[in-house]
């Protein structure tokens, strides 16, 4: 496997090209100054919007500012993620964050103003100014928030607090990405080496149990050492969420989290209830795992090792890319052309290097193109990650191409559908073309583990968020003990009684960045269930599903997420898609145990 000691060593073709955003820092600075001027100009509209024309001017200038600001912020963020230790990039991002506060402060008067209008007044403005047709739907959507927007002065105060309220999340990010050191593990020659996240992901799947165990304890050690600090940051984040929900008059913090997507809380509760009702196959899988590994005691560090030994395909980045193009060919020639462009035009940052942000993501920048961060490791997981992020990437690209700026950004709720459809198409393709019974078993095993991670684990996380936020709403204390107890109870409920609990298990909550974005993770599970439904039909060549799905990818946020999905044949307000996804999981367990 290729490991690079510095970013300079990585081939140019495997680094994203940020020149597409800014070819030099002077241009970034020029845009920075221009945005400051634009923000000041927007302030002058305060109290001066009295007709359709002035309303249109404000909205048009606000959108122009937003376009520039997103580009500027994206550049700073991507620069930091190349190397989180680089102070010059950090100060760029700090500047962008300060600018963000200025911008939101200069526009904070607008929502209270808009919601002070009578609906018929707004309608008359729209009728008299042709340009407002473009903004009409958005303006009317804003009326949904009428109950939750405060007075002009209060909104101004809240916008000033923006940076302070993001401190828990920022602090955890710093602890998790910059400060945590995982200590040392021994390499194949018995020499001590520094453990990295990428290495941990590999070692926790190692067939040598001692290696897994050593990596597991080393990985959790800093989290246990910092448990009180991390508990304080998480508790702070949760209390902030609860306070904001109260200030903004939401019936509950959960309903605030779901309001933007217009998702009824029943969808969230139904997801948890339906999953727990059908949890038996997952418990059965835990038992199969224990038997197959021939263990007296199953520990958490035994939960990721592949059950089929001797199958560890090495998949180079080139090979992974080719496989992706073949696997996604049912989506049509245009889809594949977009993917080829990603590679040729350097939209992707491929390799793990010291200081680089861990994990993987896609960032679509309207009017430019998507940027994809990977930490590619030449293995099956990395192939799946590539396919997943490229799903997001094409979704961003098509939404930007077919939607105006105002509706180009799709909601997170539908985002995970696009990425997971790709993963399911990939696994179906691999299973169809693989003759070797051992590799087939390995793929099934991989699919099951991925199902577990993307569906069951996320539902468990969603329930953890729900429980901890409900405690905060009742003013109950949130600390290490409370988080541990809540997490451990849920872990047992979801994973069954076969696992022997090491001390580390209950600290699982301490390493999850998603908990700092409230009520977000459940969307992985609803997205996964929707994707299973769609991908199965696409793989079978169902022309109508392929057509409606590609339309869906071009839709951005032109409708509410649940409505967009209904057009493809998935209705998440009913338990059916969740039940179907759980049934598919049960079939996989059945097939795997027969093999």
Judged by phi (left if over 0) then psi (alpha if -120 to 50, else beta), residue 346 lies in left
DSSP β-ladder status, 361-364 and 370-376: antiparallel
> Residue 473 in contact with residue 275, Cβ under 8 Å?
no
Q: Report helix angle 412-433 to 317-327, nearest 10.
A: 100
CB 575 within 8 A of CB 274: yes
In 403-411, which residue ranges form alpha helices assigned H by DSSP?
A: 405-408
Within 8 A by CB and 6+ apart from 319, the residues are none
Phi-psi region of 230 (alpha: psi -120 to 50; beta: other; left: phi over 0): alpha
Phi, psi for residue 313 in degrees, rounded to 5: -60, 135
Is 543 a residue of the active site?
no
Q: Which tokens hold the place of 257?
A: 């989290």
The SS3 of residue 192 is strand
Q: In the structure encoding, which two tokens stand for residue 287, read together?
A: 């038992």
Residue 220 to residue 408: CA distance in whole angstroms: 40
Cβ distance 535 to 425 under 8 Å? yes
Helix (H) or strand (E) holding 448: helix 437-451
Query: Is residue 577 a contact partner of residue 533, using CB atoms and an 8 Å limit?
Result: yes
In angstroms, the Cα distances linking 486 to 263, 403, 455 are 26, 43, 19
Residue 386: name the closest of 376, 394, 395 by CA: 376
Contact predicate 567/352, CB 8 Å: no
Rounded to the nearest 10 degrees, the angle between the axes of helix 25-43 and helix 87-107 is 20
**Angle 543-553/522-539 helices, nearest 10 degrees?**
140
DSSP E strands: which ranges in 326-407?
348-351, 361-364, 370-376
3-state DSSP percent of the chain in helix, strand and coil, to 5: 70, 5, 25
Helix axis angle for 457-473 and 227-247, nearest 10°, is: 70
Which residues, in sequence order, are bridge partners of residue 351? Answer: 376
Q: Are 317 and 376 in contact (CB under 8 A)?
A: yes
Distance CA 191, CA 199 (A): 15
Of 389, 416, 423, 463, the catalytic one is 389
The catalytic residues are: 389
């Amino acid at each position: 496997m290729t490991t690079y000691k510095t970013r300079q060593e990585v081939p140019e073709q495997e680094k994203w090209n940020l020149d597409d955003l800014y070819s030099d820092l002077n241009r970034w600075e020029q845009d920075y100054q221009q945005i400051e001027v634009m923000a000041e100009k927007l302030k002058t509209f305060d109290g001066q919007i009295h007709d359709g024309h002035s309303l249109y001017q404000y909205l048009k200038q606000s959108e122009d500012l937003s376009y520039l600001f997103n580009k500027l912020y994206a550049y700073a963020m991507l620069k930091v993620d190349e190397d989180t230790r680089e102070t010059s990039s950090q100060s760029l991002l700090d500047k962008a964050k300060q600018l963000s506060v200025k911008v939101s402060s200069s526009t904070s008067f607008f929502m209270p103003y808009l919601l002070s209008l009578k609906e018929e007044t707004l309608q008359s403005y729209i009728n008299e100014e042709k340009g407002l047709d473009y903004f009409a739907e958005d303006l009317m959507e804003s009326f949904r928030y009428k109950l939750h927007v405060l007075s002009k002065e209060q909104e101004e105060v809240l916008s000033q607090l923006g940076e302070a309220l993001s401190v828990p999340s920022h602090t955890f990010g710093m602890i998790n990405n910059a400060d945590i050191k995982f200590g040392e593990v021994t390499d194949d020659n018995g020499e001590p080496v520094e453990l990295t996240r990428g290495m941990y992901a590999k070692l926790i799947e190692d067939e040598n149990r001692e290696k897994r165990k050593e990596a597991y304890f080393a990985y959790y050690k800093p989290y246990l050492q910092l448990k009180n600090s991390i508990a304080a940051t998480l508790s702070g984040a949760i209390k902030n969420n609860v306070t904001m929900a109260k200030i903004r008059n939401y019936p509950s913090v959960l309903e605030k989290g779901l309001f933007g997507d217009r998702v009824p809380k029943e969808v969230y509760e139904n997801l948890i209830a339906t999953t727990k009702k059908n949890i038996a196959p997952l418990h059965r899988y835990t038992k199969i795992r224990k038997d197959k590994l021939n263990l007296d005691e199953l520990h958490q560090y035994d939960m990721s090792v592949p059950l089929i030994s001797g199958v560890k395909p090495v998949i180079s980045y080139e090979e992974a890319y080719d496989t992706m193009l073949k696997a996604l060919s049912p989506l049509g020639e245009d889809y594949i052309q977009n993917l080829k462009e990603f590679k040729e035009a350097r939209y992707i940052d491929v390799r793990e290097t010291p200081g680089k942000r861990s994990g993987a993501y896609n960032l679509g920048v309207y009017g430019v193109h998507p940027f994809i961060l990977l930490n590619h490791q030449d293995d099956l997981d990395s192939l799946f990650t590539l396919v997943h992020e490229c799903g997001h990437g094409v979704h961003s690209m098509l939404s930007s191409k077919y939607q105006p700026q105002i509706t180009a950004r799709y909601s997170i709720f539908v985002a995970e559908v696009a990425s997971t459809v790709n993963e399911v198409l990939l696994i179906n393709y691999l299973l169809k073309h693989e003759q070797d019974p051992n590799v087939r078993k390995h793929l099934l095993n991989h699919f099951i583990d991925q199902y577990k991670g993307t569906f069951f684990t996320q539902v468990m996380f969603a329930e953890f968020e729900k429980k901890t936020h409900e405690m905060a709403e009742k003013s109950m204390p949130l600390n290490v003990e409370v988080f541990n107890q809540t997490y451990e109870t849920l872990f047992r409920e979801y994973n069954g009684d076969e696992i022997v609990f090491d001390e580390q298990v209950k600290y699982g909550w301490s390493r999850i960045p998603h908990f700092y974005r409230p009520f977000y993770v459940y969307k992985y599970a609803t997205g996964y269930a929707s994707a299973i439904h769609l991908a199965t039909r696409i793989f079978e060549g169902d022309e109508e599903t392929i057509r409606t799905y590609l339309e869906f990818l071009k839709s951005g946020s032109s409708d509410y997420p649940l409505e967009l999905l209904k057009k493809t044949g998935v209705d998440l307000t009913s338990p059916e898609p969740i039940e179907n996804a759980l049934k598919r999981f049960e079939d996989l367990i059945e097939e795997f145990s027969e093999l």
